[in-house]
Structure 1
């Protein structure tokens, strides 16, 4: 009995620690020896012989390859699905970073906590406090979206003159050369004031000619275009998507054929004859800044049927820079994105001849366009749309928190009703998650990483949380958010939700195909090595990878069972206190996720690629683990403030609960029901034990949003807060402070009314009566009068003439009650 217990303990210890084959061999040899010489049990020669044979097969590499891994390699090569060139380039794009730790089953939290905190330089902070603040002050979003349907000329000029279009351009070319963190914070601040301006600034600094030029352009292209982009002399756009290829950008039908031709340079007027170039035809849609662009980044498929460049006929996707005044380039028409007025429209051209030197990077980069695009997209996806989502969270947190405290019903601020505070907790919690997730990814970007998997997680989950926070904010504001007008600071963002959900890859496809589809191959410690070995027919490398993979699976099986049985109580944590339990839960769920991932690939093989619902749930697991650890990292970065424990707990607990929900859904739908039953017993031996954040925690989050304080300040730091009482957002701060300051007087007045001390009827009359009878003094009267006027301005909505043309901005003159 003791020997059996020792054997079980030995197996658990070796598996839990992912011990190498040699350690297993020595351990079993020691156990057999102890069995025979310590416990005096007879171990036959046959048992020793079998052990010796197995040990030899496992430890002698040539023998192992001949008997085991070689045959497995043959089967693996047959069943591994072939990857297209675009798939290979997408998988090879970018780098893996903290996401690899989450895939390992054993996240290194010391590594996580050692990542440097992102910071702004003095120059970057000055730009945010100066030109960015000034730009926000110039933005009237209602005028832009309703009346002008464009940025005013002076705003466009300010953006160009102050280098907003060249934030990513290096200083040697006249750009600002900001960090990715600074870039994101500039976009965030602008987006809290107006989406049109934010998109107009965002796009030239995201996926577009500027970034592609810096990475791949020829020196001549850089020297000419980058200074002009930095100074705003060029307005760029990038034409990728078409009516026939939206999310599937690799399927663009636009094409160019290599040939000789003539052209006149649109900038210099110089004419060229018999030039080697490409005759391109394209039809593009949904291209931001296309109607006003001066330089068109164009993606097309390039062909060389006459072999003018070499033996290859199908060159591949190619990116070129084409001045929009070039003969045959058509721009100028617009699309009308809902809730916004940024310039977006189609561009097209038929048989437009361009020289090879207009290809980004020159002739040698012909056919390299897809690789260029996916590498740059992995960076842009971490910044632009996630930053706008963070801005939405900050705006809804700041405005909804204030509104819910100012607005009252049934004698109570509406934020103190539990149904309302539940929605508010989601707003605050999601805002915390969104910024934490983006800031961690930006840390990687600014330290040389290009986290392509994390960028997909950010793009999907931040824009989805943007949708949820806006929905909740609209519900809390009620009628205030229904009526369009200058006073409605939520409606345009609400109308614009589909933009973020759709662009840079539709969210449905990002969740179901990209996050896990790319992550499983890139982040898994062994899968990509196995696939590369199969493609290279490298049996030796496959042997190393598959033996490590098997050990990995065994380890995560045992770890998942142990951590599940013990509810992760004995797992290590880098911190004590309130966060210790969360780190331990992440370890448990990370091991379970790694096991489920391997079992999915084992049981479904290549068909997992087409099981999008299962793939989506696996992606949800990885995403939830990332969001939870990013939230923990943020808490430590902020100095682990006690005031933020509630919002941090809400963010982490709900992220981990989402992981559990995804695991439960995955096991409920895994085709192999026997395997699903076994995995459920291993991972959830006590059932689904994780719960979302409690109502009590949510109430703490909501209350922190309604009161001026450090938690509210940290949740909304970096947003633009106008100071004018005449501003729809600015008045909220003044009204909140006035309401809180006069609350004791208002309570006194309500008590006097209940006690029958007033002869008058209306609130205005009773306030005046209280002053006349000496129940309150003049200072209190003035403060209450001002607070009530501010409160009314917060609550009131806009009205117009019958044709909805003339807005009345003098609502306060109609005071009746």
Structure 2
């Protein structure tokens, strides 16, 4: 992160948050850009980094201390994720940290005491890795079209179907999964139930997907063939799983927005440093407005996006409605991050495409974040309908 950015960010933190941020910065210093570049190139899970997070007690940031977590708010969690991404780790480094935060939100709120006592401590300690399995090849953004089905039996359910783009599933022992248990009745999202299921390789096949961004964290297609799920693994009320998942969406979008701003700042730092050092026609290329203006514009966009992130986290921590704020934060951060990564790559010229300069890795991740975890178009649909009061378009 540029010194000017760090000063602006730190000045807004209270004493506790600043201490937390300082600690995570110290941890990230041991994992530099070459480390993340190697993990990405070799498609290797960053197990050393995840072990350091687990040893430091970082994996359960927002989970109750009753279950081994730190019981911190979303503001502190966003600050941590922002720092991890800005260190050069990008989304590769953030996913193992944010997965226990938002993926467990529905479990924490709707799960039975037994389910929470059994699994949350293992998630916080890093003994159990989890993933979030909702997306399907023929459903996409329309969750009501999910066809993965849980058929009841005497012990619970037998689950069969397919999920896609399930990040961290290659390492995960368990997943929080949405499946159909009954027909849609009063609403199109009825009949979907949420489960805490084990990814038992006798019943689950994992197929890694070749993809462009964050290669250190594999995304898989998952194929379920009569996976047994006992009755105690149901999260919340049968048939109400979609509405339980909604509990985690504002958290996911806000925390992702924090990571996205951090990634943008990592790219911006590289772009500015190169523009200062690279000499062409006997002067730094940063003296040319064609180079400096896109970088300056991206910096302004990132700072404005961070204000939106902080507004959304405060709303969540205060128990207020954060739907509009979290969607605005996600939309604006993705645009700002892409602008920063594009400007940084362009400033590098041909060197921007060389792995050794790292900005191509940032650019790949930045492009993904305009599509996932929710596309910019679907975010605008939400804002048009709920904020502006325009007719529903889908």
Q: Give TM-score, length-normalised by structure 1.
A: 0.44
Cα deviation, 1:353-407, whole Å, max 9, x if unaligned, reads 322221013xxx11111111122102221112x1122113322333323322222
- Distance in 1 of aligned mates of 2:377 and 2:349: 29
Contact 1:247–1:504, Cα closer than 8 Å, also in 2: no
Q: 1:517 to 1:401 in 2, by over 3 A?
A: same
- Distance in 2 of aligned mates of 1:182 and 1:301: 35
User: What's the offset of the Cα at 1:136?
Assistant: 4.1
- Distance in 1 of aligned mates of 2:219 and 2:15: 33
Contact 2:194–2:238, Cα closer than 8 Å, also in 1: yes
Contact 1:453–1:515, Cα closer than 8 Å, also in 2: yes
Contact 1:302–1:315, Cα closer than 8 Å, also in 2: no
- Distance in 2 of aligned mates of 1:520 and 1:356: 43
Q: Which residue of structure 2 aligns with residue 693 of structure 1?
A: none
Considering Cα pairs closer than 8 Å and 6+ residues apart, tell me whether 1 or 2 has the greater RCO. 2
- Distance in 2 of aligned mates of 1:152 and 1:350: 30
Partner secondary structure for residue 330 of structure 1:
strand
Q: Which residue of structure 1 aligns with residue 213 of structure 2?
A: 339
Equivalent in 357, 362, 371 of residue 502 of structure 1: 371
Equivalent in 139, 153, 163 of residue 284 of structure 1: 163
1:363-402 aligned at under 5 Å gives the runs 365-384=237-256, 386-402=257-273
1:111-510 aligned at under 5 Å gives the runs 119-120=13-14, 122=16, 124-139=17-32, 140-147=35-42, 149-192=43-86, 193-195=88-90, 196-206=92-102, 208=103, 210-260=104-154, 275=155, 277-303=156-182, 316-325=191-200, 327-331=202-206, 333-340=207-214, 341-361=216-236, 365-384=237-256, 386-485=257-356, 488-510=357-379
Quick check: which one's helix share is greater? Answer: 1
Q: Which residue of structure 1 aligns with residue 7 of structure 2?
A: none
User: What's the offset of the Cα at 1:322?
Assistant: 1.1
- Distance in 1 of aligned mates of 2:45 and 2:29: 12
Contact 2:128–2:173, Cα closer than 8 Å, also in 1: yes
Query: Any stretches of 5+ residues in structure 2 without a counterpart?
Result: 1-10
- Distance in 1 of aligned mates of 2:124 and 2:25: 16
- Distance in 2 of aligned mates of 1:328 and 1:219: 27
Query: Any stretches of 5+ residues in structure 1 without a counterpart?
Result: 1-116, 261-274, 306-313, 522-600, 602-607, 613-817
Quick check: which one's strand share is greater? Answer: 2
Q: 1:518 to 1:279 in 2, by over 3 A?
A: farther
- Distance in 1 of aligned mates of 2:287 and 2:277: 11
User: What's the offset of the Cα at 1:451?
Assistant: 0.8
Partner secondary structure for residue 325 of structure 2:
helix
Contact 1:279–1:353, Cα closer than 8 Å, also in 2: yes
1:656-675 aligned at under 5 Å gives the runs none
Cα deviation, 1:165-198, whole Å, max 9, x if unaligned, reads 2111111111111221111111111112212112
Equivalent in 380, 383, 387 of residue 519 of structure 1: 387
Q: 1:118 to 1:324 in 2, by over 3 A?
A: farther
Structure 1: 4+ residue segments shifted above 6 A: none
User: What's the offset of the Cα at 1:151?
Assistant: 3.2
| Greater C-alpha radius of gyration | 1
Q: Aligned-residue CA RMSD in angstroms?
A: 2.3
- Are residue 609 (structure 1) and residue 392 (structure 2) matched? yes
How many positions carry a matched residue from both structures? 375
